[in-house]
Structure 1
Amino acid sequence: MFLPAEAANAIDDVVVQDLRRKTPFKVDDIYCDYEARKIASGERIEVHQWIVRRHFVHLALSQIRVDVEDLAFVAFDYTDGRSPVAISLRRTGEARSSWRHKLVPVLCCSAVGLALLSGGLKYLNQQATLDRLGEEIAAIGKKAQHVRALVDQLHEKRNALVRLRVQRSEAPGLIDLWEETTRILPPHSWLTEFRLAETSGMREQQVTMVGFSGAAPSLVGIVDGSRLFFDAALTSPVAFDAAEGRERFALQAKVRRPAMLKEAAR
């Protein structure tokens, strides 16, 4: 029979009720005893009961001429290897008015006191454990909030990096800019140097063109009118090169970003 741990103080009553319900014998016709122990989990109590009819005990004692009042218990030894079972003759019988039986109430009170003390200690231990767990949960909660904030920051940085990569993937590349420059330069002009640089935290691109031209000042308007370049300007004075028979120039222009390209297309 299995009982909840809360029924530990009422096992005697439960055992009597169980005997009346499951056996055809009256309580006055039998000797009975039980053993109760808690299961490892501590949530249930396992109860083993043993009964023997008084008639059989009295008959066996009469054969050896022993009075039942002189015995405290009878034991049975199984033949299948199980441990012997002892049944108290005082649990349900009439107690003898001796000093041994007077100790029963004292022992019961002591057992109740110990049970209450054990329960109190268990409650205090549980309360201390709950308090400690509460403190640990609060500390873990603060750490979790800090970790959450770090994760949010990482998500923001990741999203910003993704947007930057998308923007850069949509922006014209070096080959695109070189082809556009080749397309817009007039026949009397050619380049000796072409550089692409990124400024303002890699959010703006700028090209530098150095070369010779038959009409260097006019290149500012030509480059500025391109769909890929804007804000073109000479970076140094135009100087005539006698060896080339052309004007030497140095020009810079900014590269239109994807959003600006969409507006220019409109």
Structure 2
Amino acid sequence: MSSTRTLPDAIAGPLRRLTTRYAESPIPGFLSWWGESLRSCLPAKWREAMAAEAAQLWLQRDGDSLRLRRSDAPDDAAPVVLALGSDQDVGSAFIGATSEAQRALPRVLLLEDSRVLRRRLTLPAATADNLRAVVGYELDRQTPFKPDQVYYDCRIARRDAASKQIEVDLILTPRAALDAELTALDGIAEGLDAVDIVGEDGQPTGCNLLPAERRARRGHGVVLIALGLAALTVVLLAMAGAQSLDNRRDALARLQEEVDARRVEARRVNQLRERLTDAVEGANFLAVRRSETPPVLDLVNELTYRMPPETTYLERLSLSGDKLSISGQSNQAAELVGLLQPSPQIRSVSLSGSIQPDSRTGKDRFTIAAQYVMPDGGIQRDYSAFATKPEADVKVDSAGDAKEDAGTEERR
């Protein structure tokens, strides 16, 4: 015999474990509450249609009769009763007593609680993933039956995380008794989806004693539609994610362009700021230099005002910082020191060296050393008295020296 497993066998174990964990998680309860909340917002006709789609057809043996009832029928609704043991075929009677819509519903055979045996088992928590197989091995130890003598179902009743154990409710019924009942329902049993137990409230408990191989083979149209919708949802989500990603990329590109434009603009502003700073610094430098540089024209005017231009002319005027040196020729060379001392701009006036006569001009050559004091706001004087008199022709070189041009006529 080949040991190769088919695809359903290969996925049965993982699928069973996944189903078990899903059933034990809070997700089903949340989805049920959410679904009921959404369903309550729908119109009444829609709610009735959805309830009809989820309805079941319950079959319950009552002596020699079989009672049929929809799970969504009102409590006071009369069930459909089929006689068992009559000459009429049960399957034909079932078809004649029910509508096509009722026959399309999932069928559940309900057994009385007295026909089953219940046990509470304590097992390791690790057995939860393969619970049915583990319980099958425990049947002959926990019950007076062997696994091939009963139909059983089990479900987890409680988990103890501290002790890592689970409590399992085991429900079983003798195989022979259930087979006999299913044989009596020939024509109906082939369409059964489950064999359940009637609870104290008259509702099914949710277990299923019917073996998987004997359950009705129904089409998977709803499952396929659900899978198709799920796949479509995944595709739409992927498309939405891709579109969102593209939008973010476009927004990032636009933002990058704006940042680049702002960067260029900021660079231009910085350049303009640097130019403005350089211009301001240059203007300040010129202003400082202008304020620190003695006004030579004022000095020349002051010397012209203090020295008699008719008898004196200058050959050289040197100003270095506050040190002033004046060289020239005059008929009153000895009196020039006294004439310059009252000036507020010229202090510490003294002759530098001796006075020497010049035989060519008939004047005395002199050199005067003094300290120059820069006036605050300049000296305002009236020089109109010298307007008609010849003035010394003086040049001011780049070093601040004033020199008389050669060939200047002697002031008389």
TM-score surpassing 0.5?
no
Instruction: Give the structure with the higher percent helix.
Output: 1
Give the alignment's TM-score, normalised by structure 1. Answer: 0.44
